[in-house]
Structure 1
């Protein structure tokens, strides 16, 4: 028959998890959704996607963003050309090998 040592039994029940980790776990448990899995309905069909609406929205957005991107990223090249043209500095033509 073995005897139970009270100091070993007490040490086994001590939780050595850091307090900060316990706090993060408590926050995570309060935010967690109780039912994380959705149930697929057998009676209802999914709604159709309004592709025409999205296409019109994409066209309207692209008419602004494409010229804006060209302006933002293209002005350094345009200014290089303007400065070189006004100073009379031109790129040297490359020689064609025969």
Structure 2
């Protein structure tokens, strides 16, 4: 006969997870490594950064992206200028204010 407190028995029953979830976690844990692989070995030194390669790659990418961004954001302004020039509409010069 069990002498467990009914309140703790209800809490224990509520905290148990379904058998399907337990079995899926067990299968998942079978494929885990037995050690924490995030920790690097003490004898390994960090590798040097290849700055020359990255700057060359950035230069190649910049030659494409800068004109592409200018074209993407600038075409509405160019079209406004072209349509206004085609229709003969020009911005009026700003009027000078009188000094008082």
Q: What is the CA deviation profile of residues 14-63 of structure 1, one whole-angstrom value per residue up to 9, with x for unaligned ones?
A: 225676xx84xx66x937x6526413423x32221110111111011100
Unaligned ranges ≥5, structure 2: none
> Partner residue of 2:82?
82
2-side partners of 1:45 and 1:57: how far apart?
25
Note closer, same or farther for the CA distance 1:96–1:41 as it changes in structure 2 (3 Å cut): farther
Report the secondary structure of 1:13's partner residue. helix
The structural deviation recorded for 1:80 is 0.3
Q: Number of matched residues?
A: 89
Structure 1: gaps of 5 or more residues: none
How far apart are residue 90 of structure 1 and its match?
1.0
Q: Aligned residue for 2:56? A: 56
Of 66-75 and 10-19, deviating more is 10-19
When the two chains are superposed, the root-mean-square deviation of aligned CA atoms in Å is 3.3
Q: TM (normalized to structure 1)?
A: 0.66
User: TM-score, structure 2 length as denominator?
Assistant: 0.65
